[in-house]
Amino acid sequence: MSIELVVFDMAGTTVKDKNFVGIAFQQAMRSQGYEIAIENVNPLMGYEKPLAIKMMLEVRESDKSKITEELVDAIHTHFVNGMIEFYQTTTEIAPLPHVEETFDALREEGIQIALNTGFSRDIADVIVSRLGWEDKIDCLVASDEVPYGRPYPDMIRKIMAELGIGSADRIAKVGDTEVDINEGINAGCKYVIGITTGAFTREELLPYKPTHIIDDIAEVRGIISASHEMAVKG
């Protein structure tokens, strides 16, 4: 089967992230009195953000009765407001190398492009608007638009429904974290491609068993082309 859709993550996969997200997490946690080192934040990149906050609190708060929805909401609100302000004003927002060329080349071949993210939709919309990607992608789904974020397959299934993709065998998922890979596997995607431009190294991605690990997003085209050649020969 030929690939009809590639689902890309955002921060660290298609959008440059010099630990901007991790620093915003640190600041949001600090606003409620919790200190967390950046190296302890990075493994949680890719998760739905309220869930990542709960995971951090479970480790750092000995009194579990304090871990309430109100506390999580307060930290998440601080995070969201900080991220929106950052992405609205920063001069550093940029696509990672070869991302836009890869989007254009895949769409010229008739392959649809979707973005999904552990961000909420309000943050994701600001990023897409600042980068001028409205006409470069076919669909965007954020973690607060589905019942469960990564590693559950809900975002990919919503994209499939919106774009009319009948089988996950026709999808490649690309992301830089453990939960990107597990999301793709749980959705049944034909290719689950880890990329080393974000939070995880090649060695850190390997245990999660992606079908491929790449260092440059341009390599996605070669993987897709090989798939199409095999489909034609088949």
Residues tagged active-site: 9, 49
191 closest CA partner among 176, 178, 173: 173
**Cα separation of 169 and 89, whole Å?**
40
Joined together, the tokens standing for residue 16 give 């440059």
Residue 174 phi, psi dihedral angles, 5° rounding: -125, 125
CA 77 from chain centre, in angstroms, equals: 20
Residues making up the chain, counted from first to last: 234
Joined together, the tokens standing for residue 221 give 């085209």
The DSSP symbol for 18 reads S
9 closest CA partner among 175, 231, 121, 215: 175
With vertex at residue 105, the alpha carbon angle to CA 145 and CA 4, rounded to the nearest 5 degrees, is 50
